[in-house]
Structure 1
C-alpha cells in the first residue's frame, strides 16, 4: 500500500444564508457536511455525484480557495487548516487545480507563454531563460507546439485550452492535482484524448489525482477508487472495480443504472429515483437520501448512517447493511 498523501477528516463547509435589511444569518447551506477520506500517493480518487452535491466545494476547500467551516485537511504530513495565507501559498506549489471551464480560467489578455510562466514567477522558480525553456517543454508534454506559446486563449479550441490548463497545473511539479470536472465542457471525442493524456502524465510524472466529475463513465476510465457524494456527504467509497461490479448504496445503484449502454438489445433494469434533490439549506432528517430511496425504513428517517467498511476496501453509509 502506498503512503497516504492527503487525509481529509470531518470536513464541513457551510455557507451562511443572509436575509433582511441587516443581512442577518438565518440559516446555512450545508455544501460539504462531515466528509472524510484518504488519497494515496500515485492513485486517482474519483469523486462523483449529481450537480450540487458538494464535490467541487470539497476540491476547492482542500486547496483553501474556499475556507473550511470545520474539519482537518492533512497534506503530506502538514495540517493545511492551521496554515497562514503565506504558508498556504507556498504549499499550493505542490497542490494544483485544473478547472472545469478552460476558457474562464485562462486570462484572455495574456499569451499562453505568460499564462504558463506565471506560476513559476509566483513561486520564484528559475530565471527568465529557465522559465521559457520549461514553458516550451511542457507545451510539448501536453501535445501542443512551441509556436502556440505566442497565441492567446481565444485562438484555441476547448480541448487545446484544457491542455493549456493541465500544463499550467504541472509547471510547479506538484504532487497532487485536483481536477474539477476537467472534461465536462468538452466534446465527447476530445474527452477521451484529454483523459488519456492525464493517465499518461500520471504515469510519466508520478502524479496523484482527485478527479471530480458527474459522469460515471468518465470516472470509471481514470479512477483507482471512487467516492460517491450525495447532498454534501460521502455515501459510498470503494475501488473502481468493486463499485462498478457491485454498488451497495441505493443512490450509487440508481446512478449506475442511468448510465446509457450502447446496445439496442440491452434489456437491463433501470432504477428510477422519484422526487427532487432536497435543498442543502434544509436537508432531511436521518439519512438525507431517504426521501428518494425505494428501500427507506423508519430508521433511515430518524438516524443518519455512518460511512463504514462493509467488506475490505468498500465503505458505505446505509442502514441496509447494519446486520452484516
Structure 2
C-alpha cells in the first residue's frame, strides 16, 4: 500500500433544523456522524450506500464546500480545517470535484473554452495563450475535439458534458478527484466509456479518486477499496473483491443481494430490508442499522459498534464480530 494522501478522522456534519417566526433551532440533521477512513495515493476508494446516507455531503466536506461540525481532514499530512480561506483556495488546486449532473454544474452562459479556462484564471496559472492551448489539449485528452471549445453546454450530449466536467477538474493538475456519482445520469453504454476514460486518466496523470456511487456494479469495476455507508456512518471498508466475495456487515449483504446477475439460471438469496431508512434528524440509539437488521441483538439497540479490523485491511462495525 502506498502512503496516505487523505486521512479523515471522526468527521461530522450536523445541519440545524430551524423554524418559526424567529428561526429558532428545534432539531439537527446528522448528515455525517463520525467518519474515519484513509485514501492512499494512486488508489480509487468507492463510497456506496442508499440515497440519504451522507455520501455526497462527505464529498463536499472533504473540499470544505460545507464546513464540518467536527473532525479532522489531513491532506498530505496537513489539517485543512485549520486553513484560512486563502490558503484553502490554493489547496483546491490539488483537490477537484466532478459533479453528478453534468448540465447543472456547467454555466450555460459560458462556452466550453471559458468554462475550462476559469480554474486556470482563478489560480493564476499560465498566460492567456498557454491557457487556451491547455484548454484544447484537455478537450482532446477526454475524447473531444479542439473545435468544441467555442460551443455551449446545451449543444452537447450528457456524456460529452460529463467529459467537459472531467476536463475542468483536470485543468489544475490535481492529485485528488472526488467523483460524485459521475455516471448515474448517463446511459449504460456511455457509462462504460466514461469509466474507462477515468481509469485511463488515473494511470496517465497519477490521480487518486474518491468515487461516490449507489450502483454497486459500477463501484466494483473501478474501485480498489470500497467503503459502505449507512446513515452517516461507515459500516464496512475493505478491498473491492473482499467486499463483493465475503461481505461481513448485514447491510452490505443486503445491498449485494439486490445487484442483478446476468444469468437467468443463477439463483441467489435475496435479503429484503425491513422498513425505510431512519431519519438522520432522529437516528436510532445504538447501532444505526438495528431497526432494519434481521440479526439484531439486544446490545445493538444500546451500544454503537466501533469500526474494527477483522482481517487484513477488512474493517467492519458490527456487534456480530465483537469479542
TM range (shorter): over 0.9
For residue 167 of structure 2, what is the aligned residue in structure 1?
Answer: 167
Q: 1:21 is matched with which residue?
A: 21
Q: Following the alignment from structure 2 to structure 1, what is the Cα–Cα distance between the partners of residues 213 and 267?
A: 27
> CA separation in 1, counterparts of 2:179 and 2:320?
33
User: What residue is the counterpart of 2:251 in the other structure?
Assistant: 251
Residue 64 of structure 1 aligns with which residue?
64
Q: In the alignment, what sits opposite 2:295?
A: 295
CA RMSD between the two structures? 0.5
Using the alignment, how far apart are the partners of 1:241 and 1:313 within structure 2? 12
Q: CA deviation at 1:187?
A: 0.6
DSSP 3-state at the match of 2:35:
strand
Equivalences for residues 191-202 of structure 1 within 5 A: 191-202=191-202
Question: Is 2:221 aligned against 1:221?
Answer: yes
Structure 1 partner of 2:103: 103
Match of 2:267 in 1: 267
Residues in 2 aligned to 1:224 and 1:38: alpha-carbon distance in whole angstroms: 13
Q: In the alignment, what sits opposite 1:128?
A: 128
How far residue 202 of structure 1 moved from its aligned partner, in angstroms, is 0.1
Question: Displacement, 1:249?
Answer: 0.3
5+ residue gaps, structure 2: none
C-alpha separation in 2, matches of 1:160 and 1:78: 36
1:129 Cα deviation from its structure 2 partner: 0.5
Match of 2:183 in 1: 183
Counterpart-to-counterpart distance in 2, 1:318 and 1:93: 38
Find the aligned partners of 1:78 and 1:137 in 2 and give their Cα distance. 32
**1:310 aligns to what?**
310
SS at structure 1 position matched to 2:310: strand
Q: Distance in 2 between matches of 1:276 and 1:261?
A: 25
Q: Distance in 1 between matches of 2:218 and 2:314?
A: 20
SS of 2:227's equivalent in the other structure is strand
User: 1-side partners of 2:47 and 2:74: how far apart?
Assistant: 18
| Distance in 2 of aligned mates of 1:69 and 1:49 | 22
Indicate the residue corresponding to 1:138 in structure 2: 138
| Distance apart, 1:262 and its partner CA | 1.1
Query: How far is 1:120 from its partner?
Result: 0.3
Query: How big is the shift at 1:27?
Result: 1.2
SS of equivalent to 2:168? helix
Deviation at 1:264, TM superposition (A): 1.3
What TM-score comes out, normalization by structure 2 length? 0.99
Secondary structure at 1:261 match in 2:
coil
Aligned counterpart, 2:209: 209
Aligned length: 323
Cα offset for 1:313? 0.4
Q: How big is the shift at 1:160?
A: 0.2
Does 2:87 align with 1:90?
no
